[in-house]
A = this chain, B = another copy of it.
Amino acid sequence: MPKKVDHQERRTLIADALMRVAAERGLEAVSLRHVAAEAGVSAGMVQHYFATKDEMMTFAMAVVRDRSQVRVTEAIARLCTTPPPRLLTRTLIAALLPLDEQSRGDARVALAFLAYAAARPDAVARDDSTDLLSFVAGLLPTPDARTAARGLLALMEGLGLYLISGKYSAEQALAVLDAHLDRLFAAGENA
């Protein structure tokens, strides 16, 4: 077993470089050589860790997803135990929104990947959003909670788009989210 190197570490290092290129110059600027240059390694090394470009893209996609997962987990962990449903919901959604510059870069890449995967049905990864939907639905007090949860998630995605494009500021997005939660939780308590 010669020359021990942490494969996972190298792959994420390359994936990070890929995301930097994609965030700054768009997904179409992502090539083996560009990513290698951004990572400060040779193109051959990239090929050593990813047999094909698609494999590299898929891996980077998974990294983006994992990062957002971590953001959510950390944000919720920062809460007290057994927080009220509304606070938990708000924290969860806010953690998924690209509010700071770093997560905005991630979201830009995620958007590019979305468009990339739209025409590549095989590269589309597993669907983890049904779990999220069920979880959010469980938090909402409204009748037909699943429909309300779908609406909340759609609102989140839309806010993400507007945040990326700079059309809404972080404050505006949060104001919209809070107003929506006002309506959701007010309606539920009355019923």
Q: Is the CB–CB distance between A153 and B147 below 8 Å?
A: no
Q: Is the CB–CB distance between B154 and A159 below 8 Å?
A: yes
Q: Which residues of B contact A27 (CB under 8 A)?
A: 28, 115
User: For the complex, what is the distance from the CA of A131 to the CA of B44, rounded to whole Å?
Assistant: 51
Q: How many copies of the shown chain assemble into the complex?
A: 2
Question: Which one of B111, B119, B183 contacts A24 once the chains associate, using CB atoms below 8 Å?
Answer: B119
Q: Is the CB–CB distance between A118 and B111 below 8 Å?
A: yes
Q: Is the CB–CB distance between A115 and B150 below 8 Å?
A: no
Taking residues whose C-beta sits less than 8 angstroms from the other chain, chain A's interface range is 35 or more
Q: With an 8 A cutoff between CB atoms, is A94 at the interface?
A: no
Q: Is the CB–CB distance between A154 and B176 below 8 Å?
A: yes
Shortest distance from the beta carbon of A121 to any chain B beta carbon, whole Å: 10
User: For the complex, what is the distance from the CA of A151 to the CA of B152, rounded to whole Å?
Assistant: 10
Question: Which one of B150, B158, B186, B187 contacts A154 once the chains associate, using CB atoms below 8 Å?
Answer: B158
Shortest distance from the beta carbon of A134 to any chain B beta carbon, whole Å: 14
18 A-B residue pairs with CB within 8 Å: A23-B119, A24-B119, A26-B118, A26-B119, A29-B119, A111-B111, A111-B118, A147-B172, A148-B179, A150-B162, A150-B176, A154-B162, A154-B168, A155-B158, A158-B158, A158-B160, A161-B161, A183-B187
Q: Which A residues are closer than 8 A to B by beta carbons? A: 22-29, 108, 111-112, 114-116, 118-120, 127, 129, 144, 147-148, 150-151, 153-162, 164-165, 167-168, 172, 175-176, 179-180, 183-184, 186-187
Given contacts A147-B179, A154-B159, 16 further A-B contacts (CB under 8 A): A23-B119, A24-B119, A26-B118, A111-B115, A112-B118, A115-B115, A129-B167, A147-B172, A148-B179, A150-B168, A151-B155, A153-B158, A154-B157, A154-B168, A157-B161, A158-B161
